[in-house]
Structure 1
Amino acid sequence: MPVLTLNADNRKELAAAIADERWVVACLCAAWCGTCGSYRATFEELASRHPDKLFVWIDIEDHADVVGDLDVENFPTLLIQHENLVAFFGTTLPDAGVAHRLITAQTELSAAQLAAQADSSEERRDWQHDCNLRTLLGA
């Protein structure tokens, strides 16, 4: 499945897609960022390596209404989520191997391990309500 790019016309479609049971891997970037521009091809390659997951590209400036309160410190920032559990939210190196290992490590965790991880620190507990794409998109 190709990368879905959030735009003004597909917000409801994206919210519906995120509402299913697939893992979601979202890249939060900005059009002006040179690193993001070159990372887009890497992100699309990652999507082809993980066809069972939903990959989403979100421009944080074009969609500040969705991600305005998220603390994006640097680019690229990945958000990895399964159902209502945010497994990862943070900056990653713009390297396909690093992202692939991160995605694989998170998606191999059991439901119990994910729940324990989500509750393991104040930061991760905050992710569950601040970074949850289902909530942010009204899914």
Structure 2
Amino acid sequence: MTVHVACLCAAWCRTCESYQQIFEAACAGLPEPDLRVRWIDIEDEAELIGDLDIETFPTLLIADDAHVRFAGPLTPQPETLRRVLRAHLTDATPAKVAPEYAALAERLRTQG
């Protein structure tokens, strides 16, 4: 099963600028065999984002082939990210999310 982990940020956001290295390092150490990790600039990839309105950075999306496991903003601390990744990579329970997050997850799935 493919698991998508996407961090939604913006190039102009100072928090995102420093968070990108934290995100990439945390994801690099994950044991998932079929993991797709994406850093998505919401302005550069506005078509991919669709109608999803991101108000807080960073925002994380974790989705598998069937549903969204987690979607929402995180505090930009490395331990918070690691805790959320551990919890939602091992627990495939569907999250209750806005339809716009589900639509983004579907677009990520179809991109391969």
Match in the other structure for 1:15: none
Q: Residue 89 of structure 1: SS of its match in structure 2?
A: strand
130, 134, 137: which is aligned to 2:103? 130
Match in the other structure for 1:106: 88
Task: State the one-letter code of the partner of 2:107.
Answer: T
Do structure 1's residue 23 and structure 2's residue 3 form an aligned pair?
yes
Instruction: Give the percent of matched residue pairs that are identical in Structure 1 and Structure 2.
Output: 39
CA deviations 1:56-106 (Å, max 9, x no partner) are 101000111110311211100100111131111110011111111111111
| C-alpha RMSD of matched pairs (Å) | 2.0
Whose radius of gyration is greater, 1 or 2?
A: 1
**Structure-2 separation of matches of 1:43 and 1:50:** 11
Normalised by the size of structure 2, how large is the TM-score? 0.83
Task: State the one-letter code of the partner of 2:7.
Answer: C
Q: Which runs of 5+ in 2 are unaligned?
A: none
Match in the other structure for 2:15: 35
Normalised by the size of structure 1, how large is the TM-score? 0.69
Aligned length: 109
**Structure-2 separation of matches of 1:46 and 1:39:** 11
Q: Which runs of 5+ in 1 are unaligned?
A: 1-20
CA contact (8 A) 1:72 1:90 kept: no
